[in-house]
Amino acid sequence: MNNQEKQEFGAFLRRIREEARLSLREAEKQVGISNSYLYQIERGERGAPKLEVLRKMAVAYKVPYESILSAAQLDDPAGREDFFDNIDDELERAFEYVRKDKKFKFGTQMNGRELTPEAKRFIVEMYQKFEDRKLIGEEKGTTNGRTRTQ
């Protein structure tokens, strides 16, 4: 990565972190890298981190992994399979995020019952539409418009 590419990638990461409403310290906890390292990446002082860190950023920032790879000008041919292994974790995190939003408190009450993954996905998708905010990518967990089964 040249300096301009580092600057552009860093600006992209900062924008999506801020859109996810995460401080550097919150991102540090969720991604597992120091906030100073993250700050250096966002300022364009360092290049893209390892693929595993980029995967964690995608989940924490609630954006498709592929968009981060593209911004970093990287390819992870094996990563797509691994990423699908984490769909359930991503859906759970997204659902918990929605459940904790006070504006959506009554729409996610479960009365002591566990919701199905399909019900959770529906709630997360409705939240995304109402809030115009991406928590999970549409292509994740779907195959030809149907929920992906393992």
Span 17-60, pLDDT tens digits: 999 999 999 999 988 889 999 999 999 999 898 888 888 898 88
Q: How many CA atoms lie within 13 A of 92 on its CB side?
A: 6
Residues 114 and 66 in one domain: no
Residue span of the structural domain in which 70 resides: 3-77
Question: What CATH number has the domain bearing residue 54?
Answer: 1.10.260.40
* Nearest one of 27, 28, 72 to 47, comparing CA atoms: 72
Section 82-94 average pLDDT: 63
Residues 135 and 102 in one domain: yes
Residues 48 and 106 in one domain: no
Indicate the pairing of strand 142-143 with strand 146-147. antiparallel
pLDDT reported for residue 84? 47
Residues 101 and 73 in one domain: no
pLDDT reported for residue 19? 92
Residues 71 and 90 in one domain: no
DSSP conformation letters of 16-64: HHHHTT--HHHHHHHHTS-HHHHHHHHTTSS----HHHHHHHHHHHTS-
H helix or E strand, kind and range, residue 143: strand 142-143
Among 50, 77, 104, which residue terminates a domain?
77
If one counts the domains in the chain, the total is 2
pLDDT reported for residue 22? 93
Residues 66 and 132 in one domain: no
Among 77, 95, 114, which residue terminates a domain?
77
Residues 93 and 114 in one domain: yes
Instruction: Work out the widest C-alpha separation in the chain, in whole angstroms.
Output: 54
- Asked whether the predicted pLDDT for residue 117 surpasses 90, the reply is no
Residue pair 72/9 in contact by the 8 Å Cβ criterion: yes
